[in-house]
Amino acid sequence: MALALEKLLGYNIITPGDNRPQQRTKKMHTFPELIKDHKLESTSKLVDSNPHMPWDGEIERDHWSVTITHADQSMQMYYSMGIGHRELPKNWKRQLEMKLGTLGLGPIKRYTLAGEAKEALKQPTAPSLADVLNCLASDCRSVQGRFFSEWAAECGYSSDSIQAKKTYDVCCEQAIKFLRLLGRELYETMINDTEWM
């Protein structure tokens, strides 16, 4: 996998003696800036599971199929996030006050507020494109220039782990798809010249 990424980038990323272009002194970008400047878009669809994540019944997560579009090309990927990333609907507190008939009557009791918030948070919140790109760029950077054994050691996995090897392969596949979607210049900007969130 790493060799395919190396070939697409046009320089050697996995052998000693780094021959990548020297560190650039360009301005650091943010993901929202790059999204706007390069007209990146995404759609997210809630799905039952992420085929790339081992099932863990103890941790509740929302799984999304995300399609990223750039210049009439697109790539699909899976993205998962814990339920702590869910957001309350806009004007939630005002809607609750109206529902309970307490608008302007003083504070809402904490137990009522907590119960209603828990109910409101049952609705998953789609990930922002900036969050997805931040995660994807981080995954791409983690495999760039690394064989599996190096990547596993850096990420705290055993190099004997079959699941870790699958994760590494998925990261490499996504890096290749991401590079094809963005082109070399924008890909390298995302990976090397963007402030992490």
Q: What is the pLDDT along the chain (197 residues), one digit of tens a residue?
A: 656 666 666 655 544 444 455 555 568 999 999 999 999 999 999 999 999 987 766 788 999 999 999 999 999 999 999 888 888 777 777 777 667 665 555 555 555 566 677 777 788 999 999 999 999 999 999 999 999 999 999 999 999 999 999 999 999 999 999 999 999 999 999 999 998 87
Note the pLDDT of residue 12. Answer: 52
Q: In the prediction, which pLDDT does 59 show?
A: 81
In a domain, 44, yes or no: yes
Answer yes or no: do 41 and 96 share one domain. no
- Please identify, among 71, 105, 123, the residue that sits at the C-terminal boundary of a domain: 123
Q: Specify if 162 maps to a domain.
A: yes
- Domain count within the chain: 2
Q: How far apart, in whole angstroms, are the C-alpha atoms of residue 130 and residue 30?
A: 9
The answer to whether residue 143 sits within a structural domain is: yes
Decide if 175 is inside a domain: yes
- Evaluate whether residue 20 is within a structural domain: no
Last residue of a domain, one of 70, 101, 123: 123
Could you write out the three-class secondary structure of the chain?
A: CHHHHHHHHCCCCCCCCCCCCCCCCCCCECHHHHHHHCCCEEEEEEECCCCCCCCCCCCCEEEEEEEEEECCEEEEEEEEEEHHHCCCCCCHHHHHHHHHCCCCCCCCCHHHHHHHHHHHCCCCCCCCHHHHHHHHHHHHHHHCCCCHHHHHHHHCCCCCCHHHHHHHHHHHHHHHHHHHHHCHHHHHHHHHCECCC
Instruction: Output the pLDDT for position 1.
Output: 63
Q: Which domain holds residue 55?
A: 2-12+27-85+124-192
Alpha-carbon distance 50 to 11, whole Å?
32
Q: pLDDT value at position 2?
A: 59
Domain-ending residue, one of 123, 146, 171? 123
Instruction: Check whether residue 93 and residue 176 sit in a common domain.
Output: no
**Residue 18 belongs to some domain of the structure:** no
Predicted local distance difference test score (pLDDT) of residue 54:
76
- Does one domain contain both 34 and 92? no
